[in-house]
Amino acid sequence: MRRFFGSSVTKKLVMALAGLFLIAFLIVHLTINLFLLSDDPDPFNKAAHFMASNPLIKIFEVVLMGGFLIHIIWGVILQIQNWIARPKRYKVTYPSQTSFFSKYMIYLGIIILIFLFLHFLNFYFVKLGLVEGDHENFYEMVYDLFKIPLYLIIYLVSFIILAFHLHHGFQSAFQTFGINHKKYTPVIKAIGLIYSLVVPAGFSIIPIIIYFFK
Amino acid sequence: MNIKLKIWRQKNAESKGAFVKYDFDGVSPEMSFLEMLDALNKKLIEEGDEPVAFDHDCREGICGTCGMYINGRPHGSVQGITTCHLSMRKFKNRATIYVEPWRAKPFPVIKDLIVDRSAFDKIMTAGGFISTNVGSAPDAHAIPVVKEKADIAFDSTICIGCGACVAACKNASAMLFLSAKVSQYALLPQGRVEAKERVQAMVLKMDELGFGNCTNTGACEAECPKNISLSNIARMNREFYKAKIT
């Protein structure tokens, strides 16, 4: 099995590449979401329609799902191998990790995966026609959903978890690529921190505005 | 001073092992951690008990033989030192001290606090060397080396292979050790000759031996008694990709 998934270095490279690809996708997703803040449903619905119908996007969608799958499968494999590598745990442990959230990546990842499934159920499966819903008016669907307090809370908590996951993931990917430099690594870490704050905050602000101000 | 020790006792590789409590009086703050264990063992022998087995050799922090997990940290709470340099004055009077062996699948416990670290030797045998026809020593300046590179190579060379990085890593990964060994050759002209084969063979051997995968937590760097830097791991990754691509 080790052979198929590659050496420990290769596996990390696969994780990092898939992770950065998903990080790039989040920016695209957020940009479209920001149309939701307009009082006019048209721009968002048009964007959603474009994402649903453009043939190039269709190809990209398959690639994206591949990215998700690879990131999840390789992540789980890595974690299982890492658990096996220490069959007997320590009685006393002291948290000396310099990257705090790195310790919890698998758990954060699993929570994000559960959220992703709910998110697919809410939107993506509707688009695919697997779940009933109004294809042409995603704008209203979003507004209906975020008027439910439970969904608002679930979404907000998920984005906090995502922020933690991204905080380690972003800078970690560059270390895996072999980029570790006295001058540039602090810059990468700073960009990672800004990204992991701004992007989840951007996603979070939309349901908050919808719930309280619309 | 008085301390309460909870030491992992395990008869041999097959037996289960458990913590045994020792109430130890008369510990001097001037003692090193190993001297304290020597004193404990003297007491145990006098009482007709089996002494605690632990690894030690130079007691100068340069051989990498000693190493135990003290209160949740390899080599104890002081950064940048080995267990033999850990002073008892770093502990409070009446402190409870947990002492455990390194825990990793490739480092099976032989007895008590001694683990079998020959997995590191196997990694070195896989590629941690240069092939050369030995004769008389060549002139020191026969091959020019850039000073900065020589310095970084030296910083990697000081890895003593104690295994604290594996012990500290939540994944029991040997990446910091391996990367220090790859780096010390990769940076010097003599090491470049076999650079491609070396990094691949060593990574393959590390995986084969069952060490975990690196997840860039940085615990190894934080606990390394020789302050080996994470930048070595990045260099090893680069070396690995270079070897695979070219």
CATH number at residue A172: 1.20.1300.10
Task: List CB contacts (< 8 A) between B212 and chain A.
Answer: 8, 81-82, 84-86
pLDDT at B31 exceeding the cut of 90: yes
What is the CATH number that goes with domain B3-100? Answer: 3.10.20.30
Asked if the Cβ–Cβ distance from B19 to A11 is below 8 Å, we say no
Give, in order, the Cα–Cα distances in Å from B244 to each of A9, A49, A153, B237: 11, 43, 47, 11
Sheet containing B73-74, strands listed edge to edge, beginning at the edge strand earlier in sequence: B18-24, B3-9, B95-100, B69-70, B73-74
Q: What is the pLDDT at residue A1?
A: 55
The rounded mean pLDDT for chain B is 96
Q: How far is B104 from chain A (nearest CA, A)?
A: 5
pLDDT in tens, chain A (214 residues): 556 778 999 999 999 999 999 999 999 999 999 999 999 999 999 998 888 889 999 999 999 999 999 999 999 999 999 999 999 999 999 876 677 888 899 999 999 999 999 999 988 888 777 887 776 788 999 999 999 999 999 999 999 999 999 999 999 999 999 999 999 999 999 999 999 999 999 999 999 999 999 8
A112 located within any domain: yes
Q: Is the pTM of this model over 0.90?
A: yes
pLDDT at A124: 85
The structural domain count of chain A equals 1
Q: Please give the structure tokens belonging to residue A147.
A: 């008027």
Report d(CA B206, CA B163) in Å as an integer. 13
Q: Quick one: pLDDT at residue B135?
A: 86
B7: nearest CA partner in chain A = A91
- Non-local CB neighbours of B17 within 8 Å, separated by 6+ positions: B8, B9, B10, B11, B109
Q: How far is CA B134 from CA B126, B130, B138, in A?
A: 20, 11, 9
Residue pair B182/B176 in contact (Cβ under 8 Å)? The answer is no
pLDDT range class, residue B49, cuts 50, 70, 90: very high
Examine the pLDDT at B185 and tell me if it is beyond 80.
Answer: yes
What's residue A131's pLDDT? 81
The residue of A13, A82, A107 whose CB has the most chain B CBs within 10 angstroms, and thus the best one to mutate to test that interface, is A82
Chain A interface, mutation test: which of B169, B196, B237, most A Cβ atoms within 10 Å? B237
CATH number of B117-133+140-245: 1.10.1060.10
User: Which of A191-200, B136-145, B194-203, B223-232 shows the lowest mean pLDDT across its residues?
Assistant: B136-145
User: Is A54 touching B (CB cutoff 8 A)?
Assistant: no
Res A128: pLDDT:
78
pLDDT value for A2 = 58
* Chain A (73-102) residues lying within 8 Å, Cβ to Cβ, of chain B: 78, 81-82, 84-94, 96-99, 102
Say if the Cβ atoms of A8 and B213 lie within 8 Å: yes
Query: CB contact, 8 Å: A179 with chain B?
Result: yes
Domain boundaries, chain B: 3-100, 117-133+140-245
Query: What is the predicted pLDDT for the residue at B154?
Result: 97
Task: Compute CA distances B228 → A101, B66, B167, B177, whole Å.
Answer: 22, 18, 15, 8
Range of the domain at A40: 2-89+102-213
pLDDT > 70? residue B68 = yes
- Is A85 close to B69, i.e. CB distance below 8 A? no
Count H helices, E strands: chain A?
9, 0
Residue A173 maps to a domain: yes
Residues of chain A in contact with residue B98, where contact means CB-CB under 8 angstroms, are 91-92
pLDDT of residue A196: 97
Q: In percent, how much of chain B has pLDDT > 90?
A: 94
